[in-house]
Amino acid sequence: MPTLETGTRLQVQIIGQLAERGVQLRPLTSSGAQSVDTRAPTFNAQLATPLPNALLPGNQSGPRLALAEVIRTEPRLEVRLLPLPPGTALATRPATPSTPTSPSTPTVGQQDASQWLLRELRHQIPGARGLAGGMQTIQNTLATAIAAGTPPTASEARLLPAMNRLIELTPPAVRLTSPDSLNRHIQQSGLWLEAMLAQGVRTNTSGTATQDLKAQLLRVAEHLRQSAETRAPLPTPATTTTAPPAPTTAGLPPMGALAGLIEGMLKRITTLQLHSLQPSAQGDDESHPRWFFELPFRSPQGLHSLAGQLQHEAGRPPERPEGWTLVLDLDLQALGPTRVALALRDDRVSVHFTAERPETAQRLRAGTPELHQRLVGRDLIVGSLSVREGRVEPQDPASLTLRDGLLDERA
């Protein structure tokens, strides 16, 4: 059995459905390819959300296979079941001699990949909340709780440190100017949480990601659920007088508002993860994978976000070497909307700035000589440095998806 922690995702077979939204699950084994092992141990869990239509009995041929996401572990194990990414489920079923698959014939998984992504995006995008705005609300909530001076309850005593941990994970702007620190914060942005947990299971090492943003958001969400259950009043007999509700402690807003905020931030990270799957899932050139991420950071003016898109080009030697492209967007009060596009290929780097404000473009041009010297100091060949004044068009994948008609805004 893999270690089951909040945020863990694993592929399972649905053995049966139990009373009160319970399910019996069996984890799939991995030995080069996923396979159903009837000798593997089973475990019971509660469903945190209803089963998707694709997982209802009769809607899958062969074993019912799903992706289980652990929502909470205490006081009971709760999971959310999702359809497996298209193509994965096919690998778990033995091929029949009567239906050979031709390499030139697209599989069902390839045909359904786009539809699966669209379904997931339709579920995530509407409730997504920006990470910077969410962090600002959490910071304000903590400040209000401290100012109130009211002793927290036992459950809130666990919730407040978890919320404070989120603020601690939000780096000051100066840390994002260091290459090593920027690389570390991108890795801890939540985009690769499930991959890190899966790697920990395969290598029998701890899968706990104490520095990962999504993992800590999931911990806060779990504490919120526990706190809400603690606050829920017990049913009283009709003959007794109902006691007035207990006052809110620690100066916290209603649990439902905080839970909605955290859920929206989780949806935002999940949306970026889904968009990062699109190139391979939609059958594009898999040698050009892209990753979308968002990094909240602190400045004297408040909390802001650095939105990024990282792309890797495997290259086709010798005519086209391997390359990387990084595009960063930010909007600071002192600079306005600004974009930085960096391209690295064969130790040759090119950097291009786009700024909407003329004074910002002028400041960037004045700093290009120093930037040139720093790049050379890192043993890089400078291909080009340029600064232009112009509109910074939004590159947020969720905004582009909405604009391209994923959601009908007239509905």
Q: How far apart are CA 146 and CA 138, in angstroms?
A: 12
Q: What are the residue boundaries of the structural domains of the chain, listed by start?
A: 1-91, 131-230+249-267, 315-403
Cα–Cα distances in Å, from 114 out to 52, 136, 218, 411? 17, 35, 27, 22
In 140-289, which ranges are E strands? none
Residue 410 has pLDDT above 80, yes or no: no
Determine the Cα angle at 204 with ends 203 and 208, to 5°: 100
In this prediction, residue 70 carries a pLDDT of 86
172: which DSSP letter?
B
Query: What is the amino acid identity at position 217?
Result: L
Residue 102 has pLDDT above 80, yes or no: no
282 pLDDT tier (thresholds 50, 70, 90): very low
285 pLDDT tier (thresholds 50, 70, 90): low
Per-residue pLDDT of 110-165, as tens digits, reads 445 677 777 788 888 888 999 999 999 999 989 888 888 778 777 778 888 999 99
Per-residue pLDDT of 327-381, as tens digits, reads 999 998 889 999 999 999 888 899 999 999 999 999 999 999 999 999 999 888 9
| 8 A C-beta contact, residue 342 and residue 322 | no
In this prediction, residue 86 carries a pLDDT of 58
Phi, psi of 147, rounded to the nearest 5 degrees: -65, -30
Cα–Cα distances in Å, from 327 out to 260, 293, 370, 386? 30, 11, 21, 14
Residue 266 has pLDDT above 90, yes or no: yes
Q: Provide the 3-class DSSP secondary structure of residue 27.
A: strand
* Neighbouring residues of 118: CB distance < 8 A, sequence distance ≥ 6: 406
Q: How far apart are CA 337 and CA 113, in angstroms?
A: 35
* Neighbouring residues of 112: CB distance < 8 A, sequence distance ≥ 6: 86
Residue 383 has pLDDT above 60, yes or no: yes
Based on C-alpha coordinates, what's the Rg of the chain? 24
Angle of the 255-281 helix axis to the 108-124 helix axis, nearest 10: 150
Per-residue pLDDT of 295-309, as tens digits, reads 999 988 889 999 999
Query: What is the amino acid identity at position 411?
Result: A
Q: How far apart are CA 306 and CA 297, in angstroms?
A: 7
Least confident of 10-14, 90-94, 277-281: 90-94
Residue 275 has pLDDT above 50, yes or no: yes
In this prediction, residue 171 carries a pLDDT of 92
In this prediction, residue 376 carries a pLDDT of 92
Per-residue pLDDT of 192-217, as tens digits, reads 888 887 776 555 555 457 889 999 99
Q: How far apart are CA 348 and CA 375, in angstroms?
A: 10
In this prediction, residue 37 carries a pLDDT of 54
- Residue 374 corresponds to which tokens in the numbers above? 């720093």
Tell me: domain 1-91, CATH 1.10.10, correct?
no
Residue 271 has pLDDT above 70, yes or no: yes
Q: Which has the closest alpha carbon to 253: 224, 293, 292, 226?
A: 224
Per-residue pLDDT of 116-130, as tens digits, reads 777 788 888 888 999
Q: Which has the closest alpha carbon to 208: 220, 218, 196?
A: 196
Q: How far apart are CA 121 and CA 346, in angstroms?
A: 36
49 pLDDT tier (thresholds 50, 70, 90): confident
In this prediction, residue 390 carries a pLDDT of 92
Average pLDDT of every residue of the chain: 77
Whose tokens are 């955290």? That residue is: 262
In 22-154, which ranges are E strands? 22-27, 29-31, 33-35, 43-47, 65-72, 78-82
206: which DSSP letter?
-
Cα–Cα distances in Å, from 104 out to 96, 101, 107? 18, 8, 9
